[in-house]
Amino acid sequence: MEFVDTHCHIHFDDYALDAEEVLKSAHAAGVTRLLAVGCTLRDSEQGVAFAAKHEGVFATVGIHPHEAHHYVGDAATLARLAELCQDEATVAIGECGLDYYYNHSPRAAQIELLEAQLQLAQQTQLPVSFHVRDAFDDFLPILANFSGIEGVVHSFTAGKKVLFRVLDAGLYVGLNGILTFTKDQAQLAMAQAVPLEKMLLETDAPFLTPAPFRGKICEPRHVVETGKFLASIRDQALAEIAEATTQNVRQLFKLS
């Protein structure tokens, strides 16, 4: 079986484990590919460099909504992101979006930076990895203003009502270790309802380590545990989950 971790940050400066050993462990577990996801300009650049050095590693480049107040109106940063999009290691833009739960950046700044990155996605025809928390009522109408955008809402934890709105927008849904330890039955019901052809697996490493590895630093190999959990609650074979989600990766990120 082959698995893909579609969202991790093992290239970050403060990732506490040895990235080389982490990659070996991932491959041994059947995780053949992973996406190193950028949240700032610096770690977007680092992600592209990291991907260039490792087979099966790809990069996404973008600015997280938490960081919007640092970058809004910064034409030089947007120009540099556009350059990074031309690198063969770059397969998507993100993570970008809106986060109204923490509001680390003003909402107006988040929206402006999201729209700038959606424009970049249109120009480059790259898919987008979205971070959206407590902000779908603003996010989905904004997305509707930008035709042709493909992407995934990563770390999706909303209920079925929002799920169906996201699916209607043509987006994929990224599921991770949160589901293995959540007490929220609405989240579990959502995970059971996600169409297999719209599901992606991810870890968000070093965050959100799934059971039974709670308390340890999350690694890409742990994506298999999320797959096992989903197989159990959806009454599907793990091989079916692995095959479908890997095919979805090929479809969305245009990976051979």
- Please give the pLDDT value at position 125: 97
**58 forms bridges with which residues in the sheet?**
35
Check whether 256 has a pLDDT greater than 80.
Answer: no
Mean pLDDT for all residues in the chain: 97
Cα 78 to Cα 7: distance, rounded to the nearest angstrom: 22
Sheet holding 31-37, edge to edge: 3-8, 31-37, 57-61, 90-99, 128-133, 151-153, 172-175, 199-201
| Residue 180 pLDDT class (50, 70, 90 cuts) | very high
CB atoms within 10 A of CB 11: 23
| Residue 165 pLDDT class (50, 70, 90 cuts) | very high
Averaged pLDDT for residues 99-126: 97
| Residue 1 pLDDT class (50, 70, 90 cuts) | very high
- Please give the pLDDT value at position 11: 97
Averaged pLDDT for residues 74-86: 97
Averaged pLDDT for residues 207-229: 98
By the 10 Å C-beta count (0-12 exposed, 13-18 middle, 19+ buried), 129 is classed as: buried
| Residue 81 pLDDT class (50, 70, 90 cuts) | very high
Cα 208 to Cα 83: distance, rounded to the nearest angstrom: 31
